[in-house]
Amino acid sequence: MAAADNPDFITQNGLPRHIAIIMDGNGRWAQKRFMPRAFGHQAGVKAVRKIVEHSANKGIEVLTLFAFSSENWRRPKEEVSLLMKLFVETLKREISTLDKNNICVRFIGDRSAFPDTLQQIMTEGEARTKDNKALTLVIAANYGGHWDIAQAFQKVVDKMATGELTKQPISPLLVSEHLSTAGLPDPDLFIRTGGEQRVSNFLLWQLAYAEFYFTDTLWPDFNQNSLNEAINSFKGRQRRFGHTGEQILNKSASFQP
Ligand code: IPE
Ligand code: IPE
Ligand code: MG
């Protein structure tokens, strides 16, 4: 269900239900220290651990992290292999901790491009943690917003061809239900670290009504306080979803979600 259609778009305590993050700046963080980019990616993994734990403790429902984009294959071969290796090692090491902490892990993106071993780790990790309730951690790997929308249409077309779905006009809800994020609320808060102010083909459909937060902090330096600052900025905003400010203020009287 899209946040824009959902009357419960903010939890009672004003926290975003779903935070989506483009974790950018690992390379520059390493370069500033005259170290290879790999060093920055390793430091980035440590920041991931902190932010996942902090999000679960704060009561965030869904955290989506952009780990590898469909465009990142364009990087030098050595960097791509390093990122794959880091991904495999991190998952192998962390899945049991995530499971112990009651965190449900889900991967979005075209995983068919990954080595079989990695695909297997992903599938097993999802199966092992599927009933966990503290936080849903969504890892976007070989993900692209264009890919996501295209694969949703492909699914709908295929289902209509086989009769699994009756022929019907394509509605936004039907598209949402076939995106890789089906069943999850849309992001309320979108964060990008590293100073760039662009979406880089992340959750194009799902970010329709997200609040955007950009920070110059490089991802390895992003910590619990940085996340608190982003959430505080979110709390200070008035989400109108097309309504007027007055309608939102007098919600009880006239607000029609
Ligand atoms: C983000 O950091 C991590 C990935 C894309 C995997 P970058 O590697 O893009 O870092 P910068 O932008 O070069 O500093
Ligand atoms: C986006 O970062 C992808 C991830 C963080 C995984 P990039 O650093 O690849 O984005 P661009 O290419 O600078 O837009
Ligand atoms: Mg970058």
What are the sequence ranges of the domains in the chain? 14-149+185-251
Do 14 and 232 meet the contact criterion of CB atoms below 8 Å apart? Answer: no
Q: Name the residue of 28, 72, 90 to mutate for ligand 1: max ligand atoms within 8 A of Cβ.
A: 28
Share of the chain above pLDDT 70, in %: 93
CA distances from 250 to 13, 103, 235, 246 (A): 18, 37, 18, 6
The whole-angstrom separation of Cα 178 and Cα 148 is 9
Q: Name the residue of 31, 64, 72 to mutate for ligand 2: max ligand atoms within 8 A of Cβ.
A: 72
Residue-wise pLDDT for 195-226, tens only, equals 999 999 999 999 999 999 999 999 999 999 99
Residue 7 has pLDDT above 60, yes or no: no
Strand, helix or coil for residue 136: strand
Confidence of residue 34 (pLDDT cuts 50, 70, 90): very high
CATH class of 14-149+185-251: alpha beta
pLDDT at 253: 52
Dig out the tokens for 227 from the structure.
Answer: 């996340």
Catalytic residue positions, numbered? 24, 72
24 lines ligand 1 (CB under 6 A): yes
Say which amino acid occupies 157: V
CA distances from 63 to 70, 99, 147 (A): 20, 15, 20
**Positive or negative: CA dihedral 238, 64, 194, 109:** negative
Do 133 and 93 meet the contact criterion of CB atoms below 8 Å apart? Answer: no
Q: What is the distance in A from the centroid of ligand 1 to the CA of 185?
A: 27
Mean pLDDT computed over every residue of the chain? 94
**Positive or negative: CA dihedral 156, 158, 163, 169:** positive
> What stretch of H or E contains 214?
strand 211-214
pLDDT at 251: 77
Confidence of residue 52 (pLDDT cuts 50, 70, 90): very high
Residue 9 has pLDDT above 90, yes or no: no
Q: Which range, of 53-62, 144-153, 240-249, averages the lowest pLDDT?
A: 240-249
23 lines ligand 1 (CB under 6 A): yes
Q: Which atom of ligand 2 is nearest to the CA of 198?
A: 14
Residue-wise pLDDT for 75-134, tens only, equals 999 999 999 999 999 999 999 999 999 999 999 999 999 999 999 999 999 999 999 999
28 lines ligand 1 (CB under 6 A): yes
Q: What is the distance in A from the centroid of ligand 1 to the CA of 202?
A: 14
Q: What is the distance in A from the centroid of ligand 3 to the CA of 26?
A: 7
